[in-house]
């Protein structure tokens, strides 16, 4: 099982490395609470078709070490860049879901794009979900604080009760088995209480809007119309508008978990993006 140490503080971080070593490189960055396992419907098919698919488990998530510190966006970006350097990866396509989208943005603005040729933000929370002067349609901060208190009291119930909306199961075409929903909740519970609480706090304070115009590389923005975790107009639409070289793909009826509900379409869009951008 491959590991490397964080260049920031030596935290032991797990990563997956699938597919041919000489294939085009795709690095997947998972969302909050999950680990790299969330990308199974992307990493396995792409690896089987010739891509080298690498996935990093964020500290406190998946199989990475449980630590107290380092959950700020800068450290997460440094951990991601540390993986690129550890494996000496070049011409990388970065693919990030939810919080992973912000980690990618910060990694690029903090470390540059010498190793990265393009990026994809899938149901991203970038530029940020909180209401502010430059984001008047964002979510009220007090609402998020109240939700965080519910989360702290019983995060198992928080995940289980939110799974229906996460996958937008009321919308046509979003067929996810009860068994997979249970599995997804179990994956979230595998993240430590410290890590889950810390990244929840990061989301409430995050605003990478000023950084997006500095990204000149091609960026694919994929977002669902029924994403309640990262409302489309607040996140996906704003990202596409702020990025100087973006392609926006809107998935009708898609929720936050469209990497499952719309897996085949997402894989097709990623392949097209990686061969034409």
Residue among 30, 97, 223, 256 flagged as catalytic: 256
Residue among 78, 79, 227, 269 flagged as catalytic: 227
User: Which tokens sit at 198?
Assistant: 């810390």
Query: What are 18's strand-pairing partners?
Result: 53
Q: How far apart are CA 130 and CA 88, in angstroms?
A: 36
256 tagged catalytic: yes
- Burial, 225: exposed, middle or buried (Cβ in 10 Å; 0-12, 13-18, 19+)? middle
Tokens 């935290």 belong to: 11
Collapsed DSSP state (helix, strand, coil) of residue 17: strand
Residue among 98, 101, 191, 229 flagged as catalytic: 98
227 tagged catalytic: yes
98 tagged catalytic: yes
Residues constituting the chain: 277
Quote the radius of gyration of the chain (alpha carbons, Å): 17
Kindly report the number of other CB atoms within 10 A of residue 272's CB atom.
13
Indicate which residues carry an active-site annotation: 98, 227, 256
């Amino acid at each position: 099982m491959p590991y490397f140490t964080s260049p920031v503080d030596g935290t032991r971080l797990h990563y997956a490395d699938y597919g041919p070593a000489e294939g085009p490189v795709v690095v997947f960055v998972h969302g909050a609470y999950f680990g790299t396992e969330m990308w199974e419907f992307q990493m396995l098919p792409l690896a089987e078709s010739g891509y080298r698919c690498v996935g990093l488990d964020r500290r406190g998530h998946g199989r990475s070490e449980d630590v107290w510190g380092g959950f700020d966006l800068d450290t997460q970006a440094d951990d991601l860049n540390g993986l690129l350097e550890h494996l000496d990866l070049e011409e990388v396509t970065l693919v990030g879901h939810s919080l992973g989208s912000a980690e990618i943005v910060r990694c690029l603005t903090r470390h540059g794009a010498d190793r990265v040729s393009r990026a994809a933000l899938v149901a991203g929370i970038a530029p940020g979900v909180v209401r502010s002067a430059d984001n008047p349609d964002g979510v009220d901060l007090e609402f998020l604080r109240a939700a965080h208190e519910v989360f702290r009291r019983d995060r198992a119930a928080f995940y289980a009760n939110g799974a229906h909306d996460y996958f937008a199961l009321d919308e046509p075409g979003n067929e996810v088995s009860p068994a997979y929903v249970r599995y997804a909740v179990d994956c979230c519970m595998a993240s430590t209480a410290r890590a889950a609480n810390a990244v929840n706090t990061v989301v409430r304070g995050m605003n990478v809007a000023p950084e997006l115009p500095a990204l000149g590389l091609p960026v694919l923005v994929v977002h669902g119309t029924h994403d309640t975790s990262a409302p489309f107009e607040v996140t996906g639409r704003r990202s596409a508008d702020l990025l100087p070289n973006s392609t926006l793909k809107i998935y009708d009826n898609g929720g936050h978990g469209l990497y499952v509900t719309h897996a085949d379409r997402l894989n097709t869009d990623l392949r097209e993006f990686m061969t034409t951008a």
